[in-house]
Amino acid sequence: MLYTRRELGRLALAGLPAAALLKPRDLFARRAAKPDSKWAGVQVGMNMPYNLGNNNLSGDVVLDACLQLGVSAVELRSQPVEAFLGSPAAVTVPPGGGARGGGRARGAGQARGGGRGGRRGEPTPEQRAAQQAAAEELARWRLSVPMSRVAEFRKKYEDAGVLIQIVKFDNIFTFSDDVLDYCFTLAKTLGAHAISCEMPIEAMDGTKRLGQFADKHQIWVGYHGHEKVTPEIWEQAFTYAKYNGANLDLGHFLGGLKKSPIPFLKEHHDRITHMHVKDKTLEDKNVTFGQGDTPIKEALQLLRDNKWPIQATIEFEYPIPAGSDRMTELAKCVQYCKDCLLS
């Protein structure tokens, strides 16, 4: 596989060193051994392609980055998978808008700086119509996808030594019942044990509906917690379905709630689908791993010592230091987690 000029441009914008990515065939030739980021029984993974700075990168680009970093598991967004499957567009659903099961095509839709849409960022009627059409097209396409092609995507990753353990769908609460069945079937076919999505704080009934599909398919939903998601909000979702779980974000928990995530981890470890690993200060500032107040080492060692089967998913959000690049910093994050687990 060779990168397209467009993909190389995206990688450059994302801060990835071009020299390391120009010849992926050489990369595979050099790396005879499969990657292994499971240390002391704890699987360390990556939030991909989020950590590369562009959610619309191809599955091949993501896989190559994992191999370079020696990472053997991912939380993978749906965009690279659906692009491989022939999705009609890279789409997301704007919050509160779009047809169930679809979304807006990136670039097809939002007004910038006001324009005819009135308030800043508000779509015009024409743009809303385009979003609706894109949503309906995507929904129809999703219901036509053969799962044999999804299995091909999984095989490519697993043959290279990378497990897809969680799949993230943006704006999943707008999806129709048929498309939700598709999402869970796709995740299961990829080998994932969970779907992840954002916690709908303002519409918790969404977790009740989604939980019904999780129980039906016996695939977890890990609701991701940003700064305003409290333990009580997660616990409410837990009451709705057996397979409603938590994507515990260590940094957001500490930075947003001003308290340690360790008690929540201890109490609800059997409900945690995966744990986002980032370092923040109590002032909610993203910093280099090991420089903040987030108890990363304590959390990782709790997983290790108790043999809790929770992926520790690195999420890269701190500013890239001058003179460095994204891949160099990601490698440092991986090494930091490894050192915590082996110490």
In DSSP notation, 211-247 reads: HHHHHHHT-EEEEEP-TT--HHHHHHHHHH-TTEEEE
**Cβ atoms of residues 155 and 129 within 8 Å:** no
Q: For residue 117, give both structure tokens.
A: 């849409």
pLDDT at residue 227 in the model: 82
pLDDT at residue 31 in the model: 52
Locate the domains of the chain by residue range.
5-90+136-342
pLDDT at residue 105 in the model: 33
> CA–CA separation, 297 vs 328, rounded Å?
21
Whose structure tokens read 């809303």?
128
Question: How far out from the chain centre does Cα 133 lie?
Answer: 26
pTM value is: 0.84
pLDDT at residue 6 in the model: 54
pLDDT at residue 122 in the model: 82
**Cβ atoms of residues 280 and 255 within 8 Å:** yes
**Cβ atoms of residues 204 and 236 within 8 Å:** yes
pLDDT at residue 33 in the model: 79
Of the candidates 173, 28, 40, the one whose C-alpha atom is nearest the C-alpha of residue 97 is: 173
CATH 3.30.70.980 fits 5-90+136-342, yes or no: no
Per DSSP, the residues of 283-315 read T--EE-TTSSS--HHHHHHHHHHHT---EEEE-
> CA–CA separation, 39 vs 232, rounded Å?
32
Kindly give the parts of the chain with pLDDT less than 50: 1-5, 7-8, 12-13, 18-30, 91-119
> CA–CA separation, 273 vs 271, rounded Å?
6
For CA atoms 313, 315, 321, 326, the dihedral sign is: positive
Residue type at position 136: E
In angstroms, the Cα distances linking 337 to 6, 255, 306, 312, 325 are 33, 20, 17, 9, 19
Query: What is the CB-side half-sphere exposure of residue 18 using CA atoms within 13 A?
Result: 9
pLDDT at residue 14 in the model: 52
**What is the rounded average pLDDT for all residues in the chain?**
86
> CA–CA separation, 269 vs 272, rounded Å?
5
Of the candidates 136, 43, 138, 122, the one whose C-alpha atom is nearest the C-alpha of residue 89 is: 138
> CA–CA separation, 231 vs 66, rounded Å?
32
pLDDT at residue 25 in the model: 44
Q: How many CB atoms lie within 10 A of CB 62?
A: 24
> CA–CA separation, 56 vs 78, rounded Å?
9
Q: What are phi and psi of 301, to 5 degrees?
A: -70, -25
**Cβ atoms of residues 16 and 327 within 8 Å:** yes
> CA–CA separation, 247 vs 233, rounded Å?
13
Q: What are phi and psi of 308, to 5 degrees?
A: -80, 125
pLDDT at residue 226 in the model: 87
> CA–CA separation, 66 vs 74, rounded Å?
8
